[in-house]
């Protein structure tokens, strides 16, 4: 199973919105509503920001939203803030043998 | 609150094995699956495997089959990940991470990470 495909970088100015894509196949992203997104600040452990395509864990600002269409999932960060600058990783369920298949990560820069 | 506390950094020689521990607290240990995920320097996240702390059953990523063993000790709420036949490419930060209740496809809480350096 190949990793999910994410753009290596994305950027936006404070207050703007940015969307990061995550492309898989009909065996993972396209088949299950089990896409998660993780934020990783430099030197820290990842943090879950979206799960089950569009659900937000308690404490995650509603500026973070997720969606899916076909084999591609997306994370949108609205009202960009300096603290949103981080690496973002998507993951998808790909069956009981591969419950978490990760994307390569996207570095989000707040200009 | 949920806490996952991992063992300290390790330096190993090629061919050796390493065993990393992850002590859980703040929730019912046997009710949540635990994953192990690693991250090589400057690289992305790489799923290694999952353990059911209730039954001890495991599923490993194919590329680690035969080299990785995940176990748990319910008396101390601790999971372990042992990786053998280490090579330089195994140099990475290793994370334990707990799933949401009843499911295997998310990682809602993460340990602080354990750096394993493989060097001769």
Which percentage of chain A shows pLDDT scores above 70?
100
Report CB contact under 8 Å: A45, B113.
yes
Q: What residues of A are in contact with residue B52 (Cβ under 8 Å)?
A: none
Mean pLDDT value of segment A82-111: 97
> HSE (CB half, 13 Å, CA atoms) of A110?
15
Mean pLDDT value of segment A4-21: 97
What local confidence, expressed as pLDDT, does residue B101 receive?
A: 84
B55-110: per-residue pLDDT in tens? 999 999 999 999 999 999 999 999 999 999 999 999 999 999 999 888 889 999 99
A contact residues 80-99, partner B, Cβ 8 Å cutoff: 89, 91-93, 96-99
B47 pLDDT more than 90: yes
Q: What residues of B are in contact with residue A36 (Cβ under 8 Å)?
A: 105-107
Residue B62, φ and ψ in degrees, nearest 5: -55, -40
Q: How confident is the model at residue A2 (pLDDT cuts 50, 70, 90)?
A: confident
Mean pLDDT value of segment A68-94: 97
Mean pLDDT rounded to a whole number for chain A: 97
What local confidence, expressed as pLDDT, does residue A97 receive?
A: 94
Mean pLDDT value of segment A84-102: 96
Q: What residues of B are in contact with residue A46 (Cβ under 8 Å)?
A: 45, 95, 97, 107, 110
Report CB contact under 8 Å: B59, A100.
no
Mean pLDDT value of segment B30-52: 97
Q: What is the 3-state secondary structure (H, E, C) of chain A?
A: CCCEECCCEEEECCCCCEEEEEECCCCCCCCCCCEEEEEECCCCCCEEEEECCCECCCCCCCCEEEEEECCEEEEEECCCCHHHCEEEEEEECCCCCCCCEEECCEEEEEC
Q: What residues of A are in contact with residue B35 (Cβ under 8 Å)?
A: 99-100
Tokens describing residue A16:
């703007």
DSSP per-residue string spanning B65-113: TTTEEEEEETTTTEEEEEE-S--GGG-EEEEEEEPPTT-SS---EE---
What local confidence, expressed as pLDDT, does residue B104 receive?
A: 86
């Amino acid at each position: 199973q190949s990793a999910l495909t994410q753009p290596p970088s994305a950027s936006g100015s404070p207050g703007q919105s940015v969307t990061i894509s995550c492309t898989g196949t009909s065996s993972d992203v396209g088949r299950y509503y089990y896409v998660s997104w993780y934020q990783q600040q430099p030197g820290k452990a990842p943090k879950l920001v979206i799960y089950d395509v569009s659900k937000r864990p308690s404490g995650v600002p509603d500026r973070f939203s997720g969606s899916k269409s076909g084999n591609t999932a997306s994370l949108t960060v609205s009202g960009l803030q300096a603290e949103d600058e981080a690496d973002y990783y998507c993951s998808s369920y790909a069956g009981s043998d591969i419950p978490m298949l990760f994307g390569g990560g996207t570095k989000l820069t707040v200009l | 609150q949920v806490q996952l506390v991992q063992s300290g950094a390790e330096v190993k020689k090629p061919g050796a094995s390493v065993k990393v521990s992850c002590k859980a607290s703040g929730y019912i240990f046997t009710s949540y699956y635990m994953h192990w995920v690693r991250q090589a320097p400057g690289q992305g996240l790489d799923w290694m495997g999952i353990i059911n702390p209730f039954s001890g059953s495991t599923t490993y990523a194919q590329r680690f089959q035969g080299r990785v063993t995940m176990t748990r000790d319910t008396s101390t709420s601790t999971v372990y990940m042992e990786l053998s036949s280490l090579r330089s490419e195994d140099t990475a930060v290793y994370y334990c991470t707990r799933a949401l209740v009843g499911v295997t496809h998310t990682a809602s809480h993460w340990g602080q990470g354990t750096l394993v350096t493989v060097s001769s």
